[in-house]
Structure formats: structure tokens, C-alpha cells
A and B are shown apart, each in its own frame.
Chain A
Amino acid sequence: MPRPQTIRPPAREQDQFLAAEFVLGTLEGAERAHVRQRMRADPAFAGLVRMWERRLAPLHELTAPIAPPAELGLLILDDFAKSQHGHPRGKAVGGPSLRPEPSPRAEPGRPPEFRFKTVDHQASGPAAKPSAGAPTEDRPPPPPASEQPGPPAPSPEGRNGAPAENPPSAKPALAIAKRESLPASDEVLRLVEAVDEDWTRLLAEGAHGPAGDKAPLSAAQAMTLAPSSPSSDAETLARETAPVDLAAETEVPASRAAQPDAGLSAPAAPVSEASPEPKEEVSAEDALDRKAEEICAALEVLLPAGRAGFVTEQKRPGWLLARFRRVKVQGETADELLETLALEAANLLPSPPRDDVAAASDTAEPPPSELLAPGLAEDGLDGSSKEGPVQEGPSEAVSPESTPTESLPIASPSGGDAPIEDSASEDAACGEASIGTSSGDLALAPVPPEETAPEEVAQPELTQQERVPEEPVPLAPVGAPPMTDGEASGAVDVVASVEGETVTGADAQPSAPAETEAVGPVEATAEASTDAAGEAAQAEGGALSAVQAEAPAVRVTEETSGERPAGEATAPQEAKEALGEKAAGDVNAGEVALAKEAGAAASETMDVAPVPLELAPAPATEAGAAAAHLPPVPLPAAGHASLWRAVAVLALLVAAGLAGLLAYGQWHQPEEHPLVAILQNEQVPVIALRIDPQSGAVRVHAVVAEPPAGKAYHLWLVAPGAERVRLGRFRSALAARSAVVAQLDPGTLSAAKVDVTLEPLEPHAPDMPAGPVVFTGRLVPE
């Protein structure tokens, strides 16, 4: 719909006036509807309206911005997501048609604040002082869901724990239902609150944590406008705030320059470092992480699809832990948190591959004293070492079972695994992503057809071995139930969907990225009897592909959930096996040295695999096989630690410098446009043209005879190596902004030619001049 950008023939006075009134808003309802109709029928009139919009719109600069309630944002994003999916309910998107149901009721309980003098004041009042400590009881009832009351909260369902068999199928459905029906921020809030007591307790018994000044969140806060106090604003400036209050356990966020949150994942690191620590402290810390994970998982469900994945992606417990600690310490409301999340969701890129390398290096080294990527490494260990106690994994492995059990009295084996797997899956996602870039592709490829494609030496052996893991399985279940208890609380939904690859991910993480693929086959073969095998493989493949796409975690979950149903029958078993393997993986992680050795050995020859078989049932062989596939990965990674750190610091500096430069540029940018004169010694028709390559603004002053009625000058840009572009049409002057111009780089632009043709007002072909070139010239730098 080309917008008329030129001086158009004088419209009838009345039309002008009608358009102006329409834009001003003085028309009454019926007239307004009439004008809308007319706009649709009469493009010229629509152009008038747009012109008036453009004339008056600058006034918006004087309006006071108001932060909309966070749940409104979620609704809108949800609308968008639905409309993108062609969801039946998304048809409200269709332009002027108003959605009949008053679904967006934000605060039903609120009295109509019609013409309140201090609308905003009131609204932001409660939220502005989050420390007011509104008790849990006076939280207003959650806003009625637009569709159905639905399940009251994700947590109750999750906690009550569905029987082990059905979760794979039941959970995703549940999640979907919630996503549609629940007011998100309230949900988040409830979660935060549910976790609240546990947190305070844990913080109290854990060494660190300003448990004293906790600021309980009330739903009221969440419902109202996010406070706009400077502090909260500052917080929403997500990235800078990263290391806010982690003083106790800050670490150098160097590993991840691209992702500022890396700094936040730092707190987790100490745990992993302190492997020889006594149980309790570790467990406290770990339990906190677990909480963070729960919330994270729940958030994942609540966030509309557009933002999903982000949380999963960010689910390194350290990160969220820090986030939520901030909620508590600084009184950030759930809304703000969501906002921040959304913001980061929008800004973050998929994690850079080197994370994985770093993680690999970490895990590869037995003493993780100087971890490169604290948060990540921690995750990896965590994910791997869930069954730590059973074996002799690193110390923090112990924690997951011990603490969460007390804190949360829920034991649903299936639901329980969820969080773990979930976290693991994300890790896996990260891992696979990076692997994909390096050399993991080949590794993953063999996975699906592992029965069909026995060419690879490693795989047959693996199949033999996985029978071996079955013996360890008894061990695994022992370890499994406790963890399940712990996690069951919040995370359920997301978790349920992910299973197969999570396991693999869990395995993958501890030892090295290389193992991902090795594990895949193992697991697959383990389930070979059932059809699940194929799925697992599939799931993993899906995971990989998803990872390579933009939003890694989301798709992972989606796809797996989709594929799950078939495997349900075997699900419990499968899960157990998975756990067993995980356990194996832990052993692996614990005995990294051994694995490394094996890997080294394996790297020399492909057939080494059998040997590790004897050494240790599964893990060693895995490692060996993995190494056979990707010998070089873990080794170089270790050496790159300091390099990456240096790179990160450098990037940080550069970013800071750029920011400064930009700020400087903003301040000194003159708002006025410079004046230009064209001097001539005789009166010649001339067209003065000015193009701003930055903004794509095009200004034309024509000192020429007006074109005959029904015709107009059309302005063309003929850049070398590019299509000719119609910049606009005019009769005496033109001011337009062209996206095309803005996209061209200044170099080509300065070599471009500009033509003016005389054509009918409405061009026939959009990009072919229909009339003679009457003026021509070159662009030169001013």
C-alpha cells in the first residue's frame, strides 16, 4: 500500500476537514465509523487522513509515558503469537474489528477510575513501595481468566504429582491450558511467594544471603503498574545491572562477554568449586538453585510463546537465583521481573559456542578450582551429579536430594525428574548448539538410525554396554526418587515435556560436549526394545536443529513434547534407565580423569571402546566413544580459558567505548538541518535533493514548473549494483523517508545517480519508470 508521500492536488475543503477531525478525534461514533468506511473505499481520502496523522502526531512527544501493567504485555504478546499461528482466537487481530469480549480487563476488582485526577498516582502507589510488605492474604484474587478459570496454579498440579505413567502426555496439555487461561503475573507471583519461605529459610541456614530484609511481594503489586521509580528503571535496564547484589559470591563474568547474565550465574560457581565442602552448605545453595529452577520452569510456561525459550535458555540456576534474590532483596516486583525477562528475551542471542567449550574444559579438569564459566560449569556438574550420593560424584551432587526433600514434600517420580531434566536439557541445548558449530554434527547424525546404521564402530559396542547400565539401574532409581521430590514443586509442566534429550543432555554436560552423541546411542539402545528409542534419537535430532535455530530451548521442549506420546508406555522405565545413565554420567563426571584418559586413548584408535567397557560399565565407554568421535574438543578448550576471558574483557571495553561514543553523538547531534543553496548564473529549472544516508530521509525542493495535471515527478535512485528505487513522487517538494536508502551503505549511495521522470500520478508499475527522464544528477557528499 504505497502511501502518497507527495504534495497532492488540493483536496476538497470538506474532505480535508473531515480527515482532520477524524484524526483529531472530534467525530462522534457514527461519523467515525462512516469515515473508516470511506477510508477503505477511497485511498485518496485515506491519504488525507494519514497526512493529518502525520501533521499532528509530533504532539505525542509531550505526552507522559505510563508503564502498562505487565500482564497486559503478556496478553498482547500472546495475541501476537496466536495471530502468527493462525490460531482461531487470534482473529481479533484483523484490524479495526474490536474484540467483543472484554478480555483485557486488567483489574476487575478495581472501581472504575473514570477521570481520576491522579490515575497514575494511585495505580503506581502500591507498586512503588514494594517493601510495604503486603501480606499474602490481602492479595486480590487473580483476574478472571478471559477464557476459563482453568487450573488455579501450575504449582498445585505439579506438586500433587501425577502418577508416573501419564506425565509425558498429560503435562504438555496442562501447560497449554494454563498458557491460555492464566493471568501470568499473578501466577509468577504465586510462585515466587510459594518459594518465599523456603528461600528465607534456606538463606538463613545457607552461609550467604541477606535474608533479613526480604520484601514480600503481594499480588497487588503485580497487578498494578510497575513502579517507575528510578531504581526500578535502572533495573529494567537489564544488562548493566547484572552483578547487582551478588557481592557475597561474585565472580568474574568473563566467560561470557556476549551475555551479561553470565555474571549472574556466578553465584552458582562457588558451589562447584567447593566440592569437598560438607553437605549442608552445598545443599542449601543448591536448593536455592532448585527453587530458581522451579520458578524458571513455571515462568517458561507462563510467558507467551514469543518470549518462551528465553527462560529455559537462561535457566542456569545461578542466573535465576541471582534474579530472584534480587526480587527479594531489592523488592523488585514480579512484574518488573517479567519485564526484565522479556527485555532480555528480546535482546539475548543464543549463547555463544564457547560456553560449551568452557564447560567442557571445566568438566574435563578434575580440580575445577579455576572455572572458566562458573555458572555453566556448575550447571553441567549439577545436571550430571543428581545421583551423586549413590555414586561418589562431586559433593554438590549430594545436595539436590537432601535439601529439596525437606522443603517440598512432593514426590512424584515423573514430575520430579522434570526440573532436573529440564535444566539438563537446556544445558544440553547449549551444549549441542556449540557442538553443532564445532564438530558435533557428525556425532548427532548417527544417533537416530543407530539400529539401522551400524557402520560406526562405537555404536555396536555401545549397544552391548547399555545392557550393562541396566544393572546399574537399580542404583539409579535409588537416587532418583529423592530428586523427584525436590523438583516436583513448580517446574512440572515444562519438564514433563522434555525427557529423552534431557537425559542425554545431562550426560553430555558432565563429561564433555563430545559425549552428547555417544550418550545418545547408549540411551537409544537401552530403549531399543520399545519404540521409544527412535523417539529419543529423534528428539535429540530435533533438539539439535532447534538449537541451531534462534530460540533453542523453546523448540526443544515443544518438539519433544510432540514426540513424547508414543513413548509414554515405557516412560517410567525409560526414565529410570535414563537416570541410570545419568548416574553413569555422574560417575563419569566424578572420575573425569579416567574419562579423559579413556578419551585420549580412544582418540588414537576407534576400537578402544571395548576396553573401557571392562573398566567401568557405561561411562568410560561413553567417554571413549565420544572421544573417538571428537578427540580434540576437550583438550584445546582447557587452554582457551584465559583467552576467552581476555576476549570478554576486551569486548566489554569496546562496548563501553562505543556506548560512550554514541552518547556523545546523541548529545551533539544538531537537530536543525543544515541549509543548502544552489547558485546559478541564470534561471534554470533545478531540483535540489538532499538525502540523509543515516535515516533515509529524502528532501526535494523543486524550482521547476509544476507538472501538468494528473502527472507528477517521480524520483528514482539508481545505485550501482542495485535495482532502481522509486524514492517518491512530487509536484513541487517532497519530504520522505526511504527504508531502501537507509539500508544502502554510504559508499554506494555516494556513487548513485538520481533521475526524475515525468509520469502519471499513479504509476503503473511500481519499479519501472513509465515516463521520460526529465532531470538527472549525481549524489555527492555534502
Chain B
Amino acid sequence: MISPHEIHRLIAAVAKGDRRAFAELYRLSSPKLYGVILRILRRRERAAQAMRLAYARIATQASHYDGSEEPVCWLVGIARASALDIARESEVPDAFEPFEVAVPARDPLARQQRSLALRRLLGCLGALSVERRRMVLLAFYDGCSRHALSIYFDAPVASIRAWIARSTSEIAGCLARRP
């Protein structure tokens, strides 16, 4: 596993315009980010678009990255936001086939164990009801909009909204509690 420190160093170098660092950062992070993005967008050409957007943002925002958060999370955050931006750009009918990856690529950023943060988050998600947990995960991984969720759960958009609100506030409360 690549240490977060290394990624951070790369990001800092990218902020200075170091192409090599950028290439390395791309090499390390692209499988992860592409996985995230493709899952949200499901279509390769759009995923490619989002990838370009994401890396352009990474390059421009690299100088703002201050190392206060896990670098991979930072990258993923940008990637997800880019994917969502692309996804919301045009209206595409929703479908809910599960996203399956036959052979996952090798991910340089993969970690052997789940991080503490993830375990805590999963603990908090576990405290939600099945349906609401599912809703949150669908939104996170598949980028489902409220509208899509309302179709999926067969509920009016307003209720979806309320459920999400409650879910997120519960998650926030749970995470705020010191373990």
C-alpha cells in the first residue's frame, strides 16, 4: 500500500506543476477514481469526461490541499463531485442494475485492512434501518438522485428527502460521538 504521505507529497508536487508527479499520481489513483466514477456514470465516455474533469480539478486544487485529511479521500471527493456534476448535467433515465466488476483492477491505493474511519462509518451506517442505509449507499456509490431514489424505493421525493435528512443527521451524530 502506498502511504498517504507519499500521496500527499505527490499532490504537493502537482501543485507546483510537476508533470512526473502528476503522472505518478495518475498512475496510482486512476484505478480507484475510475472505479468510483464509472460506477456513478456507468458509461465509459461520460466516465472519461468526468475523469478529465476530476484530474483537472485535482491539478488546480492541489495547491489548496493542506494535508488535513486523508489524501485518497480528498481525491475521491473530487472525483465523486466531478462525476456527479457530469451526471446531473444531462438527464439520463435511471436504472438500477447492480454494478458489477468482473475482475477488479489492481489498485495501488488499496489497503489491506479497512481503515478506522471506514469502520466507524460502517458502524454508524449499521445503526440505520436497512432501507435508509441502502438509500445512503445507493446515493454514495451510484450517485442516485432523489428522483432516482424515489423510483427505487417507490416513495415520494419528499419522503426520500426526509429520510436522507434523518439518516445524515444520525450519521453525523454517531460519528461525532467519540468511540
Q: Shortest CB–CB separation between residue B32 and chain A, in angstroms?
A: 5
Minimum distance in angstroms from A546 CB to a CB of chain B: 15
17 further A-B pairs in the complex, CB-CB below 8 A; given A62-B118, A119-B38: A1-B66, A17-B164, A26-B146, A60-B73, A64-B39, A66-B101, A73-B27, A73-B30, A79-B52, A83-B56, A113-B42, A119-B44, A119-B101, A342-B23, A671-B115, A673-B116, A738-B67
Residue of A nearest to B142 (CB): A25
In the docked arrangement, what's the CA distance between A673 and B119, Å?
A: 13
CA of A551 to CA of B19, assembled, Å: 11
Contact A121/B168 with A28-B88, A68-B30 known, Cβ cut-off 8 Å: no
Are A59 and B172 touching (Cβ within 8 A)? no
Q: Check if A76 is an interface residue, CB within 8 A of chain B.
A: yes
A228 contacts B73, CB within 8 Å? no
Collect the chain A residues with CB atoms within 8 Å of residue B44's CB.
Answer: 69, 106-107, 110, 113, 119, 123
Cross-chain contact B5 with A121 (CB below 8 angstroms): no
Against B, the Cβ 8 Å flags (1 = close, 0 = not) of A44-71 are 0000001011111111111111111100
Query: Which residues of A lie under 8 Å from residue B70 when comparing CB positions?
Result: 54, 57-58, 737
Select which of A59, A61, A66 is within 8 A of B31 by beta carbon. Answer: A66
Instruction: List chain B residues, Cβ under 8 A from A95.
Output: 56-57, 60-61
Interface mask (B163-179 → A, CB under 8 Å = 1, otherwise 0): 01100110110010010
Chain A 501-521: CB-based contact to B (< 8 A → 1; otherwise 0)? 000000000000000000000
> In the complex, what's the smallest C-beta–C-beta distance from B170 to chain A, in angstroms?
11
Q: Are B68 and A738 in contact (CB under 8 A)?
A: yes
Tell me if B129 is interfacial: C-beta within 8 Å of chain A.
no
**Complex interface: chain A residues within 8 A of B141 (CB):** 59, 63
B42: chain A residues within 8 A (beta carbon): 113-116, 119
In A146-160, the 8 Å CB interface with B consists of none
Q: Given A57-B73, A75-B52, A738-B68, do A24 and B168 touch, yes or no (CB 8 Å)?
A: yes
Which residue of chain A has its CB nearest to the CB of B33?
A68
Q: How far, in Å, is A664 (CB) from chain B's closest CB?
A: 13
Q: Does A292 contact B (CB under 8 A)?
A: no
Residues of A within 8 A of B145 (CB): 25-28
CB distance from B110 to the nearest CB of A (A): 7
B168 touching A20 by the CB < 8 A rule? yes
Q: Which 6 A-B pairs have the closest CB atoms?
A: A306-B19, A65-B107, A57-B73, A121-B102, A65-B31, A20-B168
Closest to B168 in A: A20
* Nearest neighbor of B92 in chain A, beta-carbon distance: A114
For residue B19, give the distance in angstroms from its CB to the closest CB of chain A: 3
Complex: A72 Cα to B44 Cα, angstroms: 10
Give chain B interface residues in 55-100, CB to chain A under 8 Å: 55-57, 59-61, 64, 66-70, 72-74, 76-77, 80-81, 84-89, 91-92, 95-100
**Complexed CA–CA distance, A630 and B143 (Å):** 67
Q: Is the CB of A120 within 8 A of B101?
A: yes
Query: Which interface residue of B55, B136, B143 has the most chain A CB atoms within 10 A?
Result: B55
**Residues on the A chain within 8 Å of B104, using CB:** 64-66, 228
A677 to chain B, nearest CB (A): 14
Q: Tell me if A77 is interfacial: C-beta within 8 Å of chain B.
A: yes
Q: Which residue of A lies closest to B148 (CB)?
A: A26
For the complex, give the distance between the alpha carbons of A59 and B115 in Å.
10
| Given contacts A65-B104, A96-B85, A305-B19, A58 and B45 within 8 Å (CB-CB) | no
Separation of A259 and B57 alpha carbons in the complex (Å): 33
Pick out which of these stretches binds chain B: A343-351, A476-484, A562-570, A640-648: A343-351
Contact A84 B19 (CB under 8 A): yes
> What distance in Å separates the Cβ of B10 from its nearest Cβ neighbour in chain A?
10
Is B34 a contact of A68 with CB atoms below 8 Å? yes
* One of A62, A102, A236, A673 near B49 (C-beta < 8 A): A102
The one of A60, A62, A98, A667 that contacts B85, using a Cβ cutoff of 8 Å: A98
CB neighbours of A225 from chain B (8 A): 105
The yes or no answer to B48 lying at the interface (CB within 8 A) is: yes
A229 contact set on B, CB distance < 8 A = 103
In the assembled complex, which residues on chain A have CB atoms less than 8 Å from the CB atom of B23? Answer: 77, 306-307, 342, 345-346
In the complex, the answer to whether A666 meets B112 with C-beta atoms within 8 Å is yes
Nearest B residue to A57 via CB reads B73
> Which among B3, B43, B103 is the interface contact of A120 at CB below 8 angstroms?
B103
Question: A728 within 8 Å of B by Cβ?
Answer: yes
Distance in Å: Cβ of A26 to nearest Cβ of chain B: 5
Cβ contact of A25, chosen from B27, B43, B80, B92, cutoff 8 A: B80
Closest to A113 in B: B43
Nearest Cβ distance between residue B88 and chain A, in whole angstroms? 4
Interface membership of A462, Cβ < 8 A? no
Question: Which residues of chain A are near B39, meaning CB under 8 Å?
Answer: 63-64
Bound Cα distance from A738 to B178, whole angstroms: 21
Interface of A with B (CB < 8 Å)?
Answer: 1-3, 5, 13, 16-17, 20-21, 23-29, 32, 50, 52-69, 72-73, 75-77, 79-81, 83-84, 92-96, 98-99, 102-108, 110, 112-121, 123-124, 128, 225-229, 233, 236, 305-307, 339, 342-343, 345-347, 550-551, 666-667, 671-673, 694-696, 728, 733, 736-739, 742
A24–B139 contact, CB under 8 A? yes
CA distance A73 to B26 in the complex (A): 7
- A residues near B56, Cβ cutoff 8 Å: 79-80, 83, 92-95
Closest to A61 in B: B118
Contact A236 B106 (CB under 8 A): yes
Quick one: which of A62, A80, A94 contacts B19, CB cutoff 8 A?
A80
Query: B60 touching A61 by the CB < 8 A rule?
Result: no
What is the CA–CA distance of A53 and B178 in the complex, to the nearest angstrom?
19
| A-chain residues with CB within 8 Å of residue B165 when the two chains form the complex | 17, 20-21
B109 vs chain A, min Cβ distance (A): 8
A63 / chain B contacts, CB cutoff of 8 Å: 32, 35-36, 39, 141
Q: State the CA gap A199–B154 with chains docked (Å).
A: 62
| Residues of chain A within 8 A of B49, CB atoms compared | 98-99, 102, 104
Q: Please measure, in the bound complex, the distance between the C-alpha atom of A551 and the C-alpha atom of B59, giving whole angstroms.
A: 21
Contact in complex: B55, A26 (CB < 8 Å)? no
Give 5 A-B contacts (CB < 8 Å), ordered by A residue: A21-B165, A69-B48, A104-B52, A339-B27, A739-B12
Contact of A58 with B20 in the complex, beta carbons under 8 Å: no
Least CB distance, A709 to chain B, in whole angstroms: 19
> Is A27 in contact with B103, judged by CB distance below 8 angstroms?
no
Task: Select which of B20, B69, B80, B144 is within 8 A of A737 by beta carbon.
Answer: B69
Please name all residues of chain B whose beta carbon is closer than 8 Å to the beta carbon of A233 when the two chains form the complex: 105-106
- What residues of chain A lie closer than 8 Å to B99, measured between beta carbons? 119
Candidates B5, B67, B69, B137; contact of A54 at CB < 8 Å: B69
**Are the CB atoms of B45 and A105 closer together than 8 Å?**
yes
Q: Across the interface, do A67 and B68 meet the contact criterion of CB distance under 8 Å? A: no
Instruction: Please name the residue on chain B nearest to A7 by beta carbon.
Output: B176
The contact of B1 among A79, A113, A343, A666, by CB within 8 Å, is A666
**Contact across chains for A306 and B168 when beta carbons are under 8 A apart:** no
A98 touches B105 (CB 8 A): no
Task: For B80, list chain A residues within 8 Å (CB).
Answer: 23, 25, 53
- With A104-B51, A116-B97, A119-B99 as given contacts, are A32 and B88 in contact (CB-CB < 8 Å)? yes
Cβ contact of A104, chosen from B45, B66, B92, cutoff 8 A: B45
Nearest A residue (CB) for B93 = A114
Is there an interface contact between A61 and B115, defined as CB atoms closer than 8 Å? yes
B89 touches A54 (CB 8 A): no
Q: How far is the CA of A25 from the CA of B21 in the complex (A)?
A: 30
A55 surroundings in chain B (CB, below 8 A): 121, 171-172, 175
Which residue of chain A has the shortest Cβ distance to B135 in the bound complex?
Answer: A26
A115 touches B95 (CB 8 A): yes
Please report the C-alpha to C-alpha distance between residue A73 and residue B33 in the assembled complex, in whole angstroms. 12
At the interface, yes or no: B117 with Cβ under 8 Å from chain A?
yes
B140's partner among A24, A104, A107 (CB-CB below 8 A) is: A24
CB-CB < 8 A to A73: which residues of B? 26-27, 30
CB-contact partner of A57 in B26, B52, B77, B107, under 8 A = B77
